[in-house]
Structure 1
Amino acid sequence: MVTSQARRLGRPRGTAGAALLDIARAQFLSHGFAGTTMDSVASSARISKASLYRDYPSKNELFAAVVADWVERGRDAMKPHTDALAIADDPAAQLRQLAGVLQRGVLSPAVLQMRTLVAAEAARFPAIASDYVERSWERNITALANAFSVLSERGVLHAEPAHIAAEQFTWLVIAVPLNRLTLEGTARPYDDVELDRIADEAVTTFLARFGRGVRR
């Protein structure tokens, strides 16, 4: 005869920590904030509602934790690439590589979905949206600006003001595909040839404005 204690011990453990936030994020992405319930998250994670509410006392707090976790996971993704740019002797080649990194990151389905989710709930959660922008977008722009400052000090580029140069480079690389993918979804995805062309043109345009030989 199987005792109730044995049944409890034999049950699969529920999901917690980062894995729980993954499940919650999937729910928010699939159903939006309004369509996601604490019941559905608890059920998908195989935990009790009491356990979920113990860690996240409200759906608002769960949503905030999901967004914060997402930002934290990707917070230093650009750093190896901006560090490499700062010491490059051939900025054109390194900028072209960085352009591809930006496209693969910002235009990836997962990032596009999170941007859409945060934007959709920005009026409800302005502090969450502001934190997302500050610790994700602005953090990466600042890292790129720091690299441009180093290159300018070395005389390899004339990328000053560095923060403006970083913003302009980023938008040259991703603005057109980001706009279309945000508004049209993946109905007409970009192929590698299209993205490579955009990246090539972005680097050419950027260097025409901030390259070493450009007169001020």
Structure 2
Amino acid sequence: MPEPIAAASVTESASGRKHRAILAAAEEMFLRGGYLGTNMDELAALSRVSKQTVYKHFGSKEALFVELVTTMTDAAGDRVHNEVADPAEASEVPAYLRAYAERQLDVVMTPSLLQLRRLVIGEVGRFPDLARALYESGPKRAMSSLAAAFGRLDEQGLLSIDDADVAASQFNWLVMAAPLTDAMLLGDAALPDARARRRHVADAVRTFLAAYGPRD
């Protein structure tokens, strides 16, 4: 007989809870001990499931790591790329760009995301899928979102852009390159405080608008 709908719902809910518990344990253990330092028996115990259940959900340690990277970066992207109305006139564009860039920096400079990025870079030679997952959910998603927004603003005459993809890449790295490089190489002690981030963003937006400001 088919499984009752109510029973199926309970089963799915329990499965979902186990899935989330395993990912939460994976985040804690991978970020603390790295890929090689994470023991799957200990991860299963921390998740309060069997080791067999871990492999049933994820298939392998590498697949679990890839999903963790994707899940964390997708969640971070959701916090950056929330639906914000486009500016209605040119005078609103600088504030629009600053708000986006400040939101992006606040999210990317989160210590857990920086640690994830360091971890992925350290493992990219053995697991290129990790870097691909981080890139597609992180920088690629950011630049695609920006390119779409810049295309709309160009059509409205609020920016002057010949190639939205190029402009999106330039804006993204004007905002991210220096703070991210410092944080990655110098550690969390190099993280800029809120005032320094705002100042950096204001300079980046000013530079970008000098090249891509609205047509006369």
- TM-score category (smaller protein): 0.7 to 0.9
Which structure is larger by alpha-carbon Rg, 1 or 2? 1
The answer (yes or no) to whether the contact 1:88–1:94 under 8 Å persists in 2 is no
The reply on whether 1:168 has 2:170 as its aligned counterpart is: yes
Unmatched segments (≥5 aa) in structure 1: 1-12
**1:80 partner SS:** coil
**1:33 partner SS:** coil
Residues 125-177 of structure 1: CA deviation (Å, up to 9, x unaligned): 11232132123321221111110011001111012311111111111112111
Unmatched segments (≥5 aa) in structure 2: 1-13
Question: 2:184 pairs with 182, 191, 204, which one?
Answer: 182
The answer (yes or no) to whether the contact 2:80–2:107 under 8 Å persists in 1 is no
What is the rounded CA distance, in whole Å, between the counterparts of 1:151 and 1:193 in structure 2? 28
> Which residue number in structure 2 is paired with residue 208 of structure 1?
210
Quote how far apart the aligned CAs of 1:213 are.
4.2
Question: 1:50 pairs with 29, 49, 52, which one?
Answer: 52
> Which residue number in structure 1 is paired with residue 30 of structure 2?
28
What is the rounded CA distance, in whole Å, between the counterparts of 2:71 and 2:110 in structure 1? 18
Residues 46-70 of structure 1: CA deviation (Å, up to 9, x unaligned): 2222222332332122212222322
Question: 1:99 pairs with 98, 101, 105, which one?
Answer: 101
- Give the share of equivalent positions with the same residue, in percent: 36
> Cα RMSD between the aligned structures?
2.1
> Which residue number in structure 2 is paired with residue 8 of structure 1?
none
Output the amino acid matched with 1:141: M
Question: 1:67 pairs with 60, 66, 69, which one?
Answer: 69
Output the amino acid matched with 2:178: V
Question: 1:191 pairs with 193, 196, 209, which one?
Answer: 193
Quote how far apart the aligned CAs of 1:33 are.
0.3
The reply on whether 1:146 has 2:122 as its aligned counterpart is: no
Instruction: Count how many residue pairs are aligned between Structure 1 and Structure 2.
Output: 200
The answer (yes or no) to whether the contact 2:102–2:201 under 8 Å persists in 1 is yes
> Which residue number in structure 1 is paired with residue 79 of structure 2?
77
Question: 2:129 pairs with 127, 133, 145, which one?
Answer: 127
The answer (yes or no) to whether the contact 1:100–1:199 under 8 Å persists in 2 is yes
